Amino acid sequence: MITLSASAQEHFRKLIEQQALPGVGIRVHAVDAGTPKGDCQLEFSEPTDRNGSEWEIECEGFSLFVDADSVPFLDGATVDFDRTDTGGQLTIRAPALRGSAPDENASVVERVRYVIETEINPQLASHGGRVSLREVTAEGIVVLQFGGGCHGCGNVDRTLRGGVESTLKTRVPGVTGVVDATDHDTGSNPYFERQARG
């Protein structure tokens, strides 16, 4: 499941010894798992913090506890600690943490979601925006909902046609078009103000 190098175990053991609390271990869980923002969080774990659903990995002198819902994303992970002149660097490599590209058997919906999360939303985030999938019609039309800085933005049509639609058509076979289902008149903090209709 998770492999800790000898140096990582020694590092954690020293940290736990400084706590001087009986039964303290290390807890690891995945944050934003399955998305491009996926990351790991490590913290001390006292016996009263645990609910019994955690997976326990017995190490030399302590236990590592993995939250049950994080297990699929941390399976195959490795933890290492490299000593440096200024202390050290803890490295966690978890191949499944940020998800993987859908395989050839994946549905159009799965493929669209993956492209939205890995390519489109990271670009929109620079303007405080995001987009979410509402549905994919039988005709291959992707229906989207814009949020954040894209909700009510004056450039949303350009973003939709020039960026989102072209990316989805290129990356996902079967996508024939994109429709924006957002009520942009209700946007409260657009990146660009919309022009008044006159």
Mean pLDDT of the chain: 88
Please give the Cα distance from 82 to 145 (Å, whole number).
45
The verdict on 117 and 182 lying in the same domain is yes
pLDDT tier at 14 (50, 70, 90 boundaries)? very high
- We report the CATH number of the domain holding residue 157 as 3.30.300.130
- Distance from C-alpha of 193 to C-alpha of 153, rounded to nearest angstrom: 6
Q: Are strands 39-45 and 55-58 parallel, antiparallel or unpaired?
A: unpaired
Q: Same domain, yes or no, for 126 and 65?
A: no
Provide the pLDDT for residue 198: 43
Domain boundary among 38, 66, 93: 93
Distances (CA, A) of 143 to 53, 80, 100, 194: 38, 44, 23, 21
In a domain, 100, yes or no: no
Top-confidence residue, 86 or 26: 26
For residues 133-153, average pLDDT: 91
According to the model, what pLDDT value does residue 83 have? 87
Same domain for 130 and 167, yes or no, is yes
Domain assignment of residue 103, yes or no: no
In a domain, 197, yes or no: no
Domain boundary among 61, 93, 125: 93
Q: Please, which pLDDT band fits residue 1 given cuts at 50, 70 and 90? A: confident
pLDDT (0 to 100) of residue 192: 64
> How many structural domains are present in the chain?
2
Is 102 within a domain?
Answer: no
CB of 96 closer than 8 Å to CB of 36 = no
**The token pair that represents 170 in the structure block:** 């290129």
Percent of the chain with pLDDT over 70: 94
The percent of residues in the chain predicted with pLDDT above 90, rounded, is: 53
Q: Cα separation of 25 and 45, whole Å?
A: 5
In angstroms, rounded to a whole number, what is the distance separating the alpha carbons of residues 76 and 56?
15
Residue 48 structural domain: 3-93
Q: Which of 28, 62, 93 is the last residue of a domain?
A: 93
pLDDT of residue 119: 84
